[in-house]
Chain A
């Protein structure tokens, strides 16, 4: 997917001005947050479960090479093929090769964020292979000219009922429907034909189980089951960080993933797929491929951002983020929005391609508090900011400003003088009022809010005055 994160500010402004989007975001925000809060109450030891989940993920990531080898060996024993891709281009090449080898003309897809990273749909189309998105949200976006998703769990969260009604009427050539169940039924009927005719199914993977060589898929609609049951070839595309040790570990993580994502105790379907169809079985794929993808992940291992590799892609961080709630997912400009995206995009797409993202956070730590695997997101965002500053990547004015401030701050007399002048200037700016409407040099900041006015004297001045008064009193 093309990286548009450098346009974050302009994208965010457009999102703020989009009345429909603002309404949809407001509507979505409460539902995710309230349902999660209810669902975690069912766990008697939610914090203990989070600690256990964090430990499971760390156990693998701390020795990722060995766990990958173990998963690979186990998967091969079950009859699966395991392939490795360094980047998105290699993912596209491998999937196209597999499709050609099996004479595939149509691919049904359940949701895979990695295929979004790789831009796989465009590559398949270019190779003359038809990709069909089957998650309802992803399908809506695909038939709307391949619009990118704005949320990792609810990709079409920015679309209203009216948007979908207009779109289906136009794309399917059917009478315009205004009821959500009728629109869902229409998509079901269109997609059922694709499920039955596609030769290849493509899925992501929520987890790879080293004990059994299986992929675990968490879905609600049943499309994940369809694409892994009906076609004769199944291709799993996952990041190399998705391995977990055992089925017991899978159960622990499943107590957290659906609750954190949609506020469900468990998703409707939870499928653990191992190997290929036996000769006398009625359904299931005859060929199973795993594509284990690096795309920047290997370089995060063992480094200062390695905790990000624990992420299980639940979306709780964005659901609870005041910035995401206000601007939605598209403004972030790549596959992953919200706090997790503001860390992942610089790491996977290049720190220089996402200068504004680590700053698109108030560091309020809502994301850190709700993260089911305890990723310290605000800390990672702050580290990315430091990296930008160390690398001289901040805008020239900011760099000069900081240097100037540092120079002044190391000269106490000059600092005191500057502060005294500044405090009086701010008081003068405020005039009669107690706040400043427009602050020169920070107009972007004061456009949305007032700046509290200084009272005209600095702390040092007031402190000195008090000391003096106290000393006088003592003398009397």
Chain B
């Protein structure tokens, strides 16, 4: 007997499985799978300005830094200012969806491709953002490689204010509506990578980025 049959066989026996109760249980299962009602959620004011404000505060609590801009054309200059102030390199790997901005005009050299170890700055967008916890939702695709937000020491993410949703459950509904099925990787990111494994002392920059800078675009 295969291990699969052995294991499932013992589970079935323990649950007294028979044709009758299997049909009943399958109906319960179908209901559970179709049920989109969220569990208890903390109260969040979902007016657009309140969402942006909460997202900002929660992101900063997760050790990200945040700048809010009026429109997208201001992004390259804002990124250049941030990199200059932090004394960071001016070349970056970027998601294809953002490569069309005037990066050269701001004195930055960007390349749209997958990330490699030598990349020190990664610039991404995000699928959406969750106000409850100050979290970015990244969905992988050919134009949005997962490693761009992982390998570089500095991760800069462009967030459209209109894509800030109250809860993670709203993010799932957006993904179902816009992507159909889940992409290979959904990564929720809340601040720079960290560890507390030595004496429970939190250190930023474990294996992923040391710093995460969010540029929120309102327009």
Contacts and interface: CB of A to CB of B under 8 A. Distances in A.
A281 B141 contact: yes
B206 A161 contact: no
B187 A225 contact: yes
A69 B8 contact: yes
B42 A43 contact: yes
A345 interface: no
Contacts of A361: none
Interface residues on A, range: 35 or more
B199 interface: yes
Interface string A169-190: 0000000000011011100100
Interface in A61-85: 62-70, 84-85
B208 A269 contact: yes
Given A269-B208, A274-B182, A225 B38 contact: no
A84 B36 contact: no
Given A86-B3, A180-B201, A283-B114, A301 B206 contact: no
A428 interface: no
Nearest to A64: B11
Given A157-B200, A281-B145, A294-B7, A42 B114 contact: no
Contact of B25 (A63, A214, A274): A63
Quick one: which of A181, A267, A268 has the most chain B CB within 10 A?
Answer: A268
A231 B117 CA distance: 14
B29 A67 contact: yes
B193 A268 contact: yes
A75 B120 CA distance: 35
A68 B208 CA distance: 33
A284 interface: yes
Contact of B8 (A56, A65, A155, A221): A65
B207 A62 contact: no
Contacts of A272: 182, 185-186
Given A27-B199, A268-B194, A282 B205 contact: no
Contacts of A48: 39-40
Contacts of A90: 3
Nearest to B5: A84
B20 interface: no
A152 to B, nearest CB: 13
B183 A274 contact: yes
Contact of A266 (B29, B146, B188): B188
B14 A284 contact: no
Contacts of A22: none
Nearest to B182: A274
A281 B113 CA distance: 10
B188 A271 contact: yes
A422 interface: no
A268 B37 CA distance: 26
B3 A28 contact: no
A269 B7 contact: no
A473 interface: no
Interface in A385-436: none
A118 interface: no
B122 interface: no
Contact of B4 (A84, A135, A192, A282): A84
A222 B206 contact: yes
Given A212-B182, A220-B193, 9 more contacts: A45-B40, A63-B25, A66-B26, A157-B200, A248-B35, A262-B196, A265-B132, A277-B184, A303-B14
Interface of A: 24, 27-28, 31-32, 42-45, 48-49, 52-53, 56, 59, 62-70, 84-86, 90, 134-137, 140, 154-157, 159-161, 164, 180-181, 183-185, 188, 191-192, 195-196, 210-212, 214, 220-223, 225-226, 228-230, 240, 245-249, 251-252, 254-255, 262, 265-278, 280-284, 292, 294, 298-299, 301-303
Interface of B: 2-4, 6-8, 10-12, 14-17, 22, 25-26, 28-29, 32-33, 35-43, 58, 61-62, 113-115, 117, 132-133, 135, 140-142, 145-147, 150, 167-169, 172, 181-201, 203, 205-209
23 contacts: A31-B200, A44-B43, A45-B40, A59-B28, A66-B26, A70-B33, A86-B3, A90-B3, A181-B205, A184-B195, A211-B33, A225-B146, A229-B147, A252-B40, A268-B192, A269-B208, A270-B135, A271-B186, A272-B185, A274-B183, A283-B146, A284-B184, A301-B10
